[in-house]
């Protein structure tokens, strides 16, 4: 019996994850409400920073996690991962099990409110374990130059910073209804296209399942949201995107014709949360605050403070995320990649113009 095309498995993973999230999220929401597992501002400072007006269940990440993992297990049982060399198989397990660990850390925080220090320690241990089984950054690129292979003494901390940093960056940007879910869904679709083009179908399967789960969650999380993903969902998606970027793009840099570019692609795809987190940390440190102190210095807060509506702020950041992702498609030499980039540029320009016009009306 002939094997189905490899791309069919990616579609199956996407659809299974999407369907499971659509089906399970209302159930998780009902359970959360009955047990009082809700997020609500507890004091005036939090009320100023948080945007929701009523108690919200923050366990939507359970649905995202379940949809992604169940989709991958089903595709694996169908033979979708095919035969993998031992090292590549360990990399896939590293991203998958690392995602499980980061989800559990976030879920524990959602339920028991862990301190930032405890979360950081646990995340560092989980990321180090993922590095140990092959999810590691082995190369750095020199602009307009070649690749530099890294020793383990540099690779380990650099990989841990990347994996832990991205998990927290997604969590930090999860401040408006649908923002993190939609942004991660867009980034996961771009990662899917890139990893397929780089001939990394196993990594692409993870991206496909994550994309289906994230975009499926938008049905209940877009403004006005019915449920939040919580730290569990944000940590899981952030780590998984970062992990796919390592094993699907950075790890293949040495054997591709766009080697230097491949190392930089994950940075470009995830540029929005990376730059947002970097700007927030710099802002807080310059004011003598702890980087973990919540405030209203994120990009979405600044846009809303300028008078832009909740939905338009989210749509603008979606367009920005799609634009940087389209640049990654262009730089990777994907056929029609620059055509997509031109289209995304026009879309960003239009949404940006709408945001500017709205802000101007408010100021007047």
Give the separation between CA 105 and CA 101, rounded to whole angstroms.
6
Q: With residue 148 as reference, give the H or E element that holds it.
A: strand 147-149
- Count how many residues are written for the chain: 364
The response to whether 152 counts as a known ligand-binding position is: no
3-state secondary structure of 335: coil
DSSP string, 89-131: HHHHHHHHHHHHHHHHHHHHHHHH---HHHHHHHHHHHHHHHH
Q: What is the dihedral of CA 74, 5, 81, 157, to 10 degrees?
A: -110
Judging by beta carbons within 10 Å of its beta carbon (0-12, 13-18, 19+), is residue 55 exposed, middle or buried?
Answer: middle
CA distance 110 to 114: 8
Query: What's the rounded Cα separation, in Å, for the pair 302 and 313?
Result: 10
Measured CA distances, 50 to 39, 55, 122 (Å)? 10, 11, 26
The neighbour count for residue 354, using CB atoms within 10 Å, is 16
The C-alpha atoms of residue 170 and residue 239 are separated, in whole angstroms, by 9
Q: Which residues pair with 148 in a beta bridge?
A: 140
- Tell me which residue of 65, 299, 265, 53 sits closest to 179, measured CA to CA: 299
Nearest to 270 by CA among 293, 248, 285, 292: 248
Helix or strand (DSSP H, E) at 70 = helix 61-77
Q: Is 113 annotated as a binding residue?
A: no
Within 10 A of 297 (CB to CB), how many other CB atoms are there? 17
Structure-token match 């498609």, residue found: 329
User: Which residues are part of a known binding site?
Assistant: 171, 231
User: Which residues are part of a known binding site for Mg(2+)?
Assistant: 171, 231
């Amino acid at each position: 019996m002939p094997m189905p095309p490899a791309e069919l498995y990616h579609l199956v993973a996407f659809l299974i994850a999407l369907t499971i999230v659509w089906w399970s999220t209302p159930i998780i929401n009902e359970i959360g409400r009955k047990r009082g597992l809700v997020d609500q501002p507890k004091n005036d400072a939090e009320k100023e920073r948080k945007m929701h007006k009523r108690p919200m269940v923050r366990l939507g990440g359970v649905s995202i996690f379940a949809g992604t993992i169940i989709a991958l297990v089903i595709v694996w049982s169908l033979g979708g991962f095919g035969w993998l060399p031992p090292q590549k198989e360990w990399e896939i397990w590293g991203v998958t099990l690392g995602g499980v660990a980061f989800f559990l850390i976030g879920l524990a925080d959602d339920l028991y409110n862990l301190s930032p220090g405890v979360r950081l320690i646990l995340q560092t241990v989980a990321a180090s374990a993922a590095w140990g089984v092959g999810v590691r950054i082995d190369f750095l690129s020199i602009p307009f130059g070649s690749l530099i292979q890294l020793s383990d003494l540099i690779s380990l901390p650099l990989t841990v910073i990347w994996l832990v940093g991205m998990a927290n960056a997604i969590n930090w940007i999860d401040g408006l209804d649908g923002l993190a879910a939609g942004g991660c869904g867009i980034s996961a679709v771009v990662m899917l296209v890139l990893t397929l083009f780089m001939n990394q179908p196993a990594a692409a399967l993870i991206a496909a399942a994550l994309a289906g789960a994230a975009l499926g969650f938008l049905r209940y999380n877009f403004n006005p949201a019915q449920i939040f993903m919580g730290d569990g969902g944000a940590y899981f998606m952030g780590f998984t995107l970062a992990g796919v970027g390592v094993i699907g793009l950075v790890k293949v840099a040495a054997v591709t014709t766009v080697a230097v570019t491949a190392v930089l692609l994950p940075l470009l795809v995830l540029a929005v949360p990376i730059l947002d987190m970097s700007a927030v940390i710099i802002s807080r440190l310059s004011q003598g605050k702890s980087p973990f102190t919540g405030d209203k210095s994120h990009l979405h807060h600044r846009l809303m403070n300028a008078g832009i509506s909740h939905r338009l702020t989210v749509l603008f950041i979606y367009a920005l995320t799609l634009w940087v992702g389209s640049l990654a498609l262009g730089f990777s030499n994907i056929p029609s990649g620059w055509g997509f980039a031109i289209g995304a540029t026009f879309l960003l320009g239009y949404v940006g113009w709408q945001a500017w016009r709205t802000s101007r009306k408010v100021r007047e």
